Structure 1
Amino acid sequence: MPTNIPVFTISLDFELYWGIFDKVPLTEREQYFANTRKVIPEMLTLFEQQQVQVTWATVGMLFAKDWADWATAIPAQRPSYHNDKLSAYRLKDEYGMNGSLKDFFFAPELVQQINQTPYQEMATHTFAHYYCQEAGQTLEQFRQDLQAAQGIAARQGMKLRSLVFPRNQFNEQYLRVCREEGIKTVRSNPSDWFWKQTVKDTLTNRIFRTGDAYLPLGKRTSFPLSSLKLEDGLPLAIPTSRFLRPIDGKRDILNKLRLNRILSEMTAAAKRKACYHLWWHPHNFGSYPERSMADLKIIIDHYKKLEQQYGMQSLSMRGIYEYITA
């Protein structure tokens, strides 16, 4: 049983357009993702300066240099979703002929920068932003997706040990495959009822998930490391505590509420010797990069105060696994 210590964990879902292709046209997000590419090095500089460990769960397709390189890395079996629009592979036909759009799909230089920055863990968000609870796809297709993600990472000398399920479609039936393909830890969802179903979502669930970012509607967000169970043949599941919602350009009061909620939850976790797990997508900073970075600096500064006052430690997902298994 590990000794409980106060821990601050950050995991990021690095996707670019692969993360929202089935929801928003690319023509509406070009500047948004251009901003995202610029703000990621700023995040890395801040994390390095403040010695903050971060898990970057990265879509495997971002490792490719271009569409030709992408074509050499794709698995033999692709997800056979009943809804064809969910497949990332269809984007090659839609955007592959326009070389000017390459930077919305591929980011090998950013992948390398993340990997080479101290305290950062390169992890996987599956190869093709794979939806593990959607109808039609199979366990073997998921396995081949993970193998493709590990394969394209291995080209750059990386071994991926942590995984975040796209759209938070946490699937317990797939955990053993994760472990067999080298994954030692996965991110799981909070235990609140409004996080139980993220596929066939309801309006009520979405309202409560959004509202809980500003007001206490759910359970306590932090958790002791001793509550994490390491089961034979399965990866360690690490729950999230809070999603850092994007800046609301019209409602400053909501921005302050969400930030203050995070800071107070971090303090409570530090006092209780518990783990606080914050997550977001780098592209959530795309609309208001300066204001988003200002908020992130406030969060990191607050962590540093908790580090001094309560001995709070920064650990990546892999860092938590190593601490528990040491």
Structure 2
Amino acid sequence: MPGYFVISLDFELLWGVKDHRTKEDYGENILGARKAIPLMLDLFERKEIHVSWATVGFLFYDKKKELLESFPLVKPEYQNTKLSNYNQLSDLGDDEQSDPYHYGKSLIRLIQSKKCQDIETHTFSHYYCQEPYKKERAFEADIKAAVSAGEGLGVKVKSIVFPRNQVNKEYLQILAENGIIAYRGNPDSYYYNARSQRENTKFKRIVRLLDAYIPLIKISNPSLQEMVPIAPVNIAASRFLRPYSSNLFFLERLKMKRIKREMYQAAVANTIYHLWWHPHNFGKSTNQNIEQLEELLNWYTYLNKQFGMVSASMTEMATQVLNNHKTI
């Protein structure tokens, strides 16, 4: 079996940051993401890259009335009420044209028009699965709403990315019952494990930041044969592609070398390398971010030619794992 290169994107616009950001302090990134997405799609198309767009269900609508009517009856009741996007509707506009921060139907249609792009789920409401007072019934209602939102645009949701990477294995059976065969797990490290906001300490964040530039944490990427063939399959993350930082410009080459070295090791060892980020990470310094992405995709092209590395979406990887098990 060859090595695999997987990309997943957490597509959420303002819904992913509403508990601590506003249009005023983060709106430039959100509007910038709407400009960066077509540029990313152009690169993916030219380089023949398969991508999973894990999309918040709220984005599947372009009118307020339709969005509100899609809400499930059972909603999350977090201890921190700011975490629920159902409590963050005061600035919601009437439609996508007047409110590009909260609606994404036109962008989803654009993604659908491109080859090798899978639209998946980031839950319906950007649901947090490791926060106090979470409820299994609320998560089940959220996933059913996410699946329904996808079906409204002809999308069959097969994979999920847990918001804030709060993977909750207690919920995997709910995913399987709703046709989801893949999820993005976390790297096998204390510093990257599933966590609530309270557990995501400043120290952990600093370690992860440093690890983006220098090899502090050793991450082992599995081969296809080593993956557990039970749906939903864990397509674990390898590396977050941190956006270009003008403040840390002197470290940008180290970041790129770190990712390229890890991609090379995966290609040689025939293992899976899973890169991820948010489209709004490219909302500022867009040109620099696109240039770095193109450099990484060019590197993948080299690894593809030299070692047979293959680009695959999360759903394609899970399908391979499950089918491979059946043939053994």
Tell whether the structures are fold-level matches, with TM greater than 0.5. yes
Q: Deviations over 1:184-243 (max 9, x none)?
A: 100000001111243121222112111111111112343212221023xx4111110000
Give the aligned partner of residue 218 of structure 1: 217
Structure 2 distance, partners of 1:312, 1:41, is 25
Q: After superposition, where does 1:134-283 map in structure 2 within 5 Å? A: 134-199=131-196, 200-231=199-230, 234-283=231-280
CA contact (8 A) 1:132 1:169 kept: yes
Structure 1 distance, partners of 2:100, 2:93, is 12
Q: Deviations over 1:67-123 (max 9, x none)?
A: 111111111111011111101012222434798751100010111111221011110
Q: Which residue of 275, 287, 290 maps to 1:293?
A: 290
Structure 2 residue matching 1:123: 3-state secondary structure: strand
CA contact (8 A) 1:221 1:276 kept: no
Q: After superposition, where does 1:74-153 map in structure 2 within 5 Å? A: 74-96=71-93, 102-153=99-150
Amino acid of the structure 1 residue aligned with 2:216: L
CA contact (8 A) 2:64 2:95 kept: no
Aligned length: 321
Q: Deviations over 1:37-68 (max 9, x none)?
A: 01101111111111100000000000011211
Structure 1 distance, partners of 2:98, 2:243, is 24
CA contact (8 A) 2:7 2:274 kept: yes
Amino acid of the structure 1 residue aligned with 2:215: P
Please provide the CA RMSD for this pair: 1.4
Structure 1 distance, partners of 2:18, 2:227, is 34
Give the aligned partner of residue 318 of structure 2: 321
**Structure 2 residues without counterparts, runs of 5 or longer:** 324-328
- 1:69 and 2:69 matched: no
CA contact (8 A) 2:64 2:92 kept: no
Give the aligned partner of residue 310 of structure 1: 307
Structure 2 distance, partners of 1:39, 1:120, is 16
CA contact (8 A) 2:92 2:102 kept: no
Distance 1:178 1:264, change over 3 A: same
Deviation, structure 1 residue 312: 0.4
Q: Deviations over 1:124-146 (max 9, x none)?
A: 00000000111112111001001
Deviation, structure 1 residue 12: 0.4
Task: List, as ranges, runs of 4+ consecutive aligned residues in structure 1 with deviation greater than 6 Å.
Answer: 97-100
Amino acid of the structure 2 residue aligned with 1:120: Q
Distance 1:307 1:73, change over 3 A: same
Q: Kindly, what percent of the aligned residue pairs are identical?
A: 37
Structure 2 residue matching 1:57: 3-state secondary structure: strand
**Structure 1 residues without counterparts, runs of 5 or longer:** none
Distance 1:90 1:98, change over 3 A: farther
Point out the more displaced range, 94-103 or 222-231. 94-103
Distance 1:220 1:133, change over 3 A: closer
Structure 1 distance, partners of 2:9, 2:93, is 27
Distance 1:54 1:201, change over 3 A: same
Structure 2 distance, partners of 1:143, 1:295, is 38
Amino acid of the structure 2 residue aligned with 1:227: E
CA contact (8 A) 1:95 1:101 kept: no
Give the aligned partner of residue 48 of structure 1: 45
Structure 2 distance, partners of 1:91, 1:83, is 13
CA contact (8 A) 1:244 1:279 kept: yes
Structure 2 residue matching 1:239: 3-state secondary structure: coil
